[in-house]
Amino acid sequence: MKKYILKTALFVSLCAAFVFAAQKPASASEGVKATLARVIARLEPAIGFRPRVSLGQEGPGSAFVMPDGTIVISPELISTAASEDEVAFILAHESAHILATDQVPGKILELAGHPGISSSQIKELKADAQAVRIMRQAGYRPEASLAILKRLSAKGAGLDQRIRALSRLLDIK
């Protein structure tokens, strides 16, 4: 047990160090920064805290939460979003992971050989449902969650299970 805990702690620390080292100062356009600021300000009362957001380096469209609670979002993912509502879903989803203390992304757990990896999909579905509640409370359109997930799925993200679950939750056929 002690060996497993040390191994997991070391792996998570190395992942965090790698992500921060790989990040270069974001040269996001003023429009992206303004959009993020507006969405964060509007989500804050619904979430109950002000999320810290850092732009990652160029690369695959992704967002995740660091162990310290910082949301790292790639510029590609922001550019994939077609509306402020879709950006709100991404940030609300990641904030839901913070609220549930799910800061270690499923892929990191999978790479570490974590025995409970099947629970990562459950965490994603729960975060989606919480994000929809947050979006409603903040006055965003929850249907935007489906639009961004479908767009990401079309790019090969494999989000069919989450899309079906959100469709049922939103009662959209």
Q: For residue 37, what are the domain limits?
A: 2-170
Cα torsion through 156, 124, 17, 30, rounded to 10? 70
Q: Which pLDDT score is estimated for 121?
A: 79
- In sequence order, the 6+-apart residues with CB closer than 8 A to the CB of 41 are none
Per-residue confidence (pLDDT) for residue 55, from 0 to 100: 87
What's the pLDDT score for residue 159? 87
Across-strand partners of 65?
Answer: 71
Listed in sequence order, the residues at least 6 apart from 158 whose beta carbon sits closer than 8 Å to its beta carbon are: none
Whole-number pLDDT of residue 2: 47
Assigned token pair, 115: 């025995």
pLDDT score for 19: 45
Structural domain count of the chain:
1
pLDDT of 132:
95
* pLDDT score at 28: 57
Segment-wise mean pLDDT, segments of 10 residues, the chain, 173 residues:
43 43 52 91 95 80 87 89 95 93 53 51 88 96 94 87 90 74
Q: What is the pLDDT of residue 37?
A: 94
pLDDT of residue 110: 46
